[in-house]
Structure 1
Amino acid sequence: MAALRVVVVAGSRRNLLNLSKTLHVSRANMSFSSLPPGKKVALSALGVLSAGGAGLALMLHQSVKASDLELHPPSYPWSHGGMMSSLDHASVRRGYQVYKQVCSACHSMEYLAFRNLVGVSHTEAEVKVLAEEIEVVDGPDDTGEMFTRPGKLSDYFPKPYPNSEAARVANNGALPPDLSYIVNARHGGEDYVFSLLMGYCEPPGGVAMREGLYYNPYFPGQAIGMAPPIYNEVLEFDDGTPATMSQVAKDVCTFLRWAAEPEHDQRKRMGLKLLMGTAILLPLVYYMKRHRWSVLKSRKMAYRPPK
């Protein structure tokens, strides 16, 4: 019986070897030419629809992004644009002077208080003097009456108009936007604001401007209700800087960048500290990882069959 079992096992092994030699695995041919006509038509239609949809989305994006006559603001080399560059606080001080003497006649900054200027562009004593120049309606007092008082550090910048309706009436229906976050609210940031202030020009041939509107290629629609606000020598800076048109626009844009991001310098300072701390800790963490995992990484696993 043992000899018969050996012969049967040997014969079955020989048959399996012969069978493996005769079997050939067919490779799947997934080329486009081998597909049925119906699938070819469906794939072709899907490709055409995908390409058409992508092209339509790109065209819509370009049409919404800007019209043919609207210019995109160029990128200017701002002194605070670098990763480790801080704001020019002398420029912030001059920019506040521009806002106070020029822009505040129409535009408000209702989210900025006088105390925010302390330690940034002015000393505390200087800011107190600036705040006391305005009259603030406060109250009621002990008799129930409202009264006026000089401004304090905690007061916010005064508004030029009591409400939006009065602002529209005074500006031919146009509502001057609040400038507290205007740099972050406009595509292009300070580049857009600078280009808008410097971009007033005569309309091209064939373009007629309605009365009370001014041509500016950087403004959406190219017709803006704000008259050119700045020009050469529109004011005199306290520090003696020549008040050219470009200098005035640059300083007020720097001031608006600070107003939109008062934490600008602190954010970059903390980011630099984080990078320095990471550069120190990362090699230590990598060494600890190699040290802790060295036992597992250097293990040799050997299979020992049971005897």
Structure 2
Amino acid sequence: MVRIIGFFVGAGFVFVLLWSLVVNGLDYFRNPPEHAAYYYFHKDPRDAELPSDGMMGKFDRQQLQRGFQVYKEVCAACHGMKYVSFYQLTDLGYSEAEVKAIANQWAIEVPSVNPDTGEAATRKALVSDRFPSPYPNETAARAANNNAYPPDLSLITEARHDGANYVYSLLTGYANADTYRNAEGKPVPNDAKPPQGLHFNPYFANLNIAMPAPLVSDGQVTYADGTKATVDQMAKDVSAFLVWTAEPTLEARHRAGWAVLVFLLIATVLAYMAYRNIWANAKRQVSIRGPLDPEFRERMDEAKADSGIAG
């Protein structure tokens, strides 16, 4: 009796599950869910075509210096780089005297303590210091940016998918939501347009970003090397610089990788040549063992004769 009741209970569960699957499946195909606006308007990053791209990628020191200049004059007012030290700028081609001057003239001073009073204070940056944050803490940063927290840029190209291309596309992708059209020619729906305090950018995850366009016009930065500072050029330069801040050893890693590949190739060739030299001409000889071995049979016959065993 218990088995019969258990069978009917189990059958009831199976029936309910199948019914739910069929009903919900039909409802899904009859009334497919509506995609959010970002599904239709979000764009994949464009290729910045930086010299550091690819397996043979190398940094362009001139471009890195230009990118640092863009960061210094445009981005540093809101974004810190807490994992990068001033002394690392020597890798960009700056002399020690230039790096010392950059640190000493940095607009944001380093938090410190007054040795006489023990109270909080600030001081000029030293070469050994890391780039100071423009805000004392996250609360102050949000208070100054409409409750949005400006991310640290030290590792931003590693923290975002397709990092350098994402940064480049984001900086150059701001658009007017009222006039913007996607690839199919559709306008941005009203519920997807940026509310007060946000800005439309199809390269941002949910289309609306708190940061206003930082690069607004050509010539916003005057490059020391004479390069024309278009918005596109400035975006590429600062993206290249942020690739360096995230992975300053990129060139060394590429060199080590190629050295390992060459070593493995040579080792493979030597191993194959050793195989050909030692084993290629060796013939595998299969000899008979066991009852069918003629020598074994001969010894068995001798043993039987000595023992007087017939056969």
Fold match (TM-score > 0.5)? yes
Q: What residue identity is the alignment partner of 1:102?
A: V
How far apart in 2 are the matches of 1:147 and 1:177? 24
Is 1:102 the counterpart of 2:74? The answer is yes
Alignment RMSD (CA, Å) = 2.9
1:157-189: CA deviation from partner (whole Å, max 9, x where unpaired):
011110011111111111111111111111121
CA shift for structure 1 position 139: 4.7
Q: What is the aligned partner in structure 1 of residue 138 from structure 2?
A: 164
Is 1:241 the counterpart of 2:227? The answer is yes
How far apart in 1 are the matches of 2:47 and 2:222? 28
How far apart in 1 are the matches of 2:118 and 2:145? 36
How far apart in 1 are the matches of 2:279 and 2:46? 53
Q: What residue identity is the alignment partner of 1:267?
A: R
Question: Could you state the TM-score of these two structures normalised by the residue count of structure 1?
Answer: 0.73
Could you say if the C-alpha distance between residues 224 and 142 of structure 1 is closer, same or farther in structure 2, counting changes exceeding 3 Å?
closer
Pick the aligned partner of 1:219 from 200, 204, 210. 204
Pick the aligned partner of 1:254 from 240, 252, 256. 240
Q: What residue identity is the alignment partner of 2:77?
A: A
How far apart in 2 are the matches of 1:120 and 1:267? 17
- Say whether the 8 Å CA contact 1:127–1:153 is kept in structure 2: yes
1:2-52: CA deviation from partner (whole Å, max 9, x where unpaired):
xxxxxxxxxxxxxxxxxxxxxxxxxxxxxxxxxxxxxxxxxxx9xx99xx9
Which runs of 5 or more residues in structure 1 are unaligned? 1-44, 53-58
Seq. identity, %: 41
Q: What residue identity is the alignment partner of 2:200?
A: Y
Which runs of 5 or more residues in structure 2 are unaligned? 1-17, 26-31, 179-186, 298-311
How far apart in 2 are the matches of 1:76 and 1:143? 51
Question: Could you state the TM-score of these two structures normalised by the residue count of structure 2?
Answer: 0.72
Q: How does 1:85-164 map to 2 (within 5 A)?
A: 85-134=57-106, 135-139=109-113, 141=115, 148-164=122-138
Q: What is the aligned partner in structure 2 of residue 36 from structure 1?
A: none
Bigger CA drift: 81-90 or 190-199?
A: 81-90
Could you say if the C-alpha distance between residues 107 and 144 of structure 1 is closer, same or farther in structure 2, counting changes exceeding 3 Å?
closer
Bigger CA drift: 73-82 or 120-129?
A: 73-82
How far apart in 1 are the matches of 2:111 and 2:47? 43
Q: What residue identity is the alignment partner of 1:282?
A: T
1:96-138: CA deviation from partner (whole Å, max 9, x where unpaired):
1100110011111111111111133422221111111244344
How far apart in 1 are the matches of 2:221 and 2:79? 18
Q: What residue identity is the alignment partner of 1:228?
A: A
How far apart in 1 are the matches of 2:150 and 2:173? 18
How far apart in 2 are the matches of 1:74 and 1:131? 34
CA shift for structure 1 position 288: 2.5
How far apart in 1 are the matches of 2:80 and 2:111? 17
- Give the aligned length: 250
1:272-294: CA deviation from partner (whole Å, max 9, x where unpaired):
22222222222112222444545
Q: How does 1:1-307 map to 2 (within 5 A)?
A: 67-134=39-106, 135-139=109-113, 141=115, 148-204=122-178, 205=187, 206-207=189-190, 208-230=193-215, 231-293=217-279, 297-303=282-288, 304-305=293-294, 306-307=296-297
How far apart in 2 are the matches of 1:220 and 1:195? 12
CA shift for structure 1 position 202: 0.6
Bigger CA drift: 236-245 or 205-214?
A: 205-214
How far apart in 1 are the matches of 2:62 and 2:125? 24
CA shift for structure 1 position 142: 7.4
How far apart in 1 are the matches of 2:174 and 2:271? 57
- Partner of 2:92, secondary structure, is coil
Could you say if the C-alpha distance between residues 164 and 147 of structure 1 is closer, same or farther in structure 2, counting changes exceeding 3 Å?
closer
- Say whether the 8 Å CA contact 1:92–1:121 is kept in structure 2: no
How far apart in 2 are the matches of 1:149 and 1:115? 17
- Say whether the 8 Å CA contact 1:190–1:257 is kept in structure 2: yes
CA shift for structure 1 position 148: 4.7
